[in-house]
Amino acid sequence: MILTVSENATKEQLQQAYQNEYVLSAFGELHTREPIESDIVKYHSCYVNGDFVGCFLEIMRSPIESEVHSLLFKKAAKHCRKLALIFIFQLFESKPIARVCTQVMYIHRSVINFCLKIGFKIEGFKQNADLKDGKLQNIVMMRILRDEL
């Protein structure tokens, strides 16, 4: 089994990710349904045995912090832990960042548990910070520090 995460996903790959129903099901109503074009945003494509299985979104919040989000397809489910760890290690190896953070809707408990299993820690909560199915949702803020790997 060969798992690969590479920087610079193609436009075609991003279109696939943003049209994938499994990926979109995790989005809140305030999230964009189109690839974000910005100097501080990068997409990292993921492959299992050479097959594209989605990507990770990286937002460079500051010189010491990157925020990350998963846009992995359902077919990547049994490899997502390893792909996420590869991605996080690559971020820490390639940048002088001190921390990687993410935000997860509280209703997505399985995603929160997944993040905890790969080393993220809960930093706090944002009350009524997103919408899902017309209802306000709380957000769990999580992070992993370089020295915690």
- The type of residue at 124 is G
Report the alpha-carbon distance of residue 63 to residue 5 in Å, rounded.
Answer: 22
Convert the pLDDT of each residue in 113-130 to its tens digit: 999 999 999 999 999 999
Where b means 16+ CB within 10 Å and e means fewer, 72-106 reads bbeebeebbeebbebbbeebbeebebebbbbbbbb
Confidence of residue 136 (pLDDT cuts 50, 70, 90): very high
Q: For 88, which DSSP code?
A: H
Q: Record the tokens describing residue 28, joined without a space.
A: 């809140």
Note the pLDDT of residue 133.
87
Task: Tell me which H or E stretch contains 22.
Answer: helix 21-24
| 32, pLDDT greater than 90 | no
Q: Could you report the per-residue pLDDT of 46-83, keeping only the tens digit for each?
A: 999 999 999 999 999 999 999 999 999 999 999 999 99
What is the pLDDT of the chain when averaged over all its residues? 94
Strands 41-48 and 51-62 turn out to be antiparallel
